[in-house]
Chain A
Amino acid sequence: MHIPDGFLDAKTWISLSAISAGVVAISVARANKKLGEKHIPLMGIMSAFIFAAQMLNFPVAGGTSGHFMGGVLATILLGPFAGVLIMTTVLIVQCFIFGDGGITSLGANVFNMAVIGSVLGYLIYFTFYKIIKGKTGRFIGAFIAAWSSIVLAAGFCALELAISGTSPLKVTLTTMLGVHCIIGIGEAVITVAVISFVLATRSDLLELEKI
């Protein structure tokens, strides 16, 4: 879902870059207050894992592929603002080192995948976790938050393309949502699998203070 250069017009990418820069600044300030000794290596590992997993495109119906995004996984383990920083770092490396995602659309990609994925994903996860509680709550919350993060990011992506005049909303929205409803299942399955792996091996990591 990395938007390349050329898809977004100036007003759209400049606005989204400004919003994303603001959220990243808030995230740095939050991390500044809350980071503990234990968080540091975990932040690095989370980034490395998300980068690696994002390389693994899996086939979905009709000659399309999708890959793991990771915003919700990062948010569940380390918190929404840590998630924003992790996802942003991954996106910056993907843009500048691997030419994946445009430079003008970097702010939009940060907005769709880091901000929506981590911040909205966090709210969805904890809403379910607070209602259902326990292991079941974690798994159901993680599944729904992960699936929603992909579908919401795709929706925002379609909206940005429409505002830019690249493709009208009525043409793009349903197809973008349709494809990503399927990719979202992959996201949800991987997120729940990793959470259950962490629960089984080092459940204390899930109790770390969230950033």
Chain B
Amino acid sequence: MKKIIFIGLGISLVLAIFLSPFASSSPDGLEKVGEGKGFMDKAESFIAGLIPDYAFPGIENEIIATALAGMIGVLIVFTLTYILTVVIKRKKQSQINK
């Protein structure tokens, strides 16, 4: 299982760090339709996020800013899901023990 974690997390990190800076920056399907049909200007942002638009703030080099954002994102998502899953499972065992 350790090997699977190593490979799975490794592939995810490689994608996020080395490929994400070269992803297409064209608008996505919804944005494109919104622009074409004139409702994109209704978009608001009530929450900017800590790392807005997948670019680590304060870094001028866009490639590095995106790569860093990708790396941090992968690690946060992995850790959060892992903790969440452990918590959900542990709750079950404590219920069995009662």
Q: Which residues of B contact A202 (CB under 8 A)?
A: 4
**Main SS of the interface on chain B?**
helix
| In the complex, A159 has a CB within 8 A of chain B | no
- Asked if B76 and A52 sit within 8 Å, CB to CB, the answer is no
With the chains together, A2 CA to B49 CA distance in Å?
14
- Asked if A102 and B44 sit within 8 Å, CB to CB, the answer is yes
Instruction: Closest A residue to B42 by CB, please name it.
Output: A6
A–B pairs, 14, beta carbons within 8 Å: A1-B29, A1-B30, A2-B28, A5-B44, A6-B43, A32-B88, A50-B77, A56-B15, A65-B28, A85-B81, A93-B80, A95-B49, A97-B72, A99-B47
- Asked if B23 and A55 sit within 8 Å, CB to CB, the answer is yes
Would you give the 0/1 interface string for A137-172, flagging 1 where the beta carbon is closer than 8 Å to chain B? Answer: 000000000000000001001000100001100011
- Asked if B76 and A102 sit within 8 Å, CB to CB, the answer is no
- Asked if B49 and A57 sit within 8 Å, CB to CB, the answer is no
Q: How large is the interface on B (under 10, 10 to 19, 20 to 34, 35 or more residues)?
A: 35 or more
With the chains together, A89 CA to B83 CA distance in Å?
11
- Asked if B28 and A57 sit within 8 Å, CB to CB, the answer is yes
Instruction: Closest B residue to A202 by CB, please name it.
Output: B4
Q: Which of B1-43 contact A (CB under 8 A)?
A: 1, 4-5, 8-9, 11-13, 15-16, 19-20, 23-30, 32-34, 36-37, 39, 42-43
CB distance from A10 to the nearest CB of B (A): 13
- Asked if B29 and A52 sit within 8 Å, CB to CB, the answer is no
Q: Which residues of B contact A28 (CB under 8 A)?
A: 88
Beyond A41-B82, A44-B85, 4 extra complex contacts between A and B, CB < 8 Å: A6-B44, A47-B78, A57-B28, A63-B27
CB distance from A163 to the nearest CB of B (A): 14
The listed residue with most A CB atoms (<10 A of its CB), out of B20, B45, B77, is B77
Q: Which residues of A contact B37 (CB under 8 A)?
A: 167, 171-172, 175
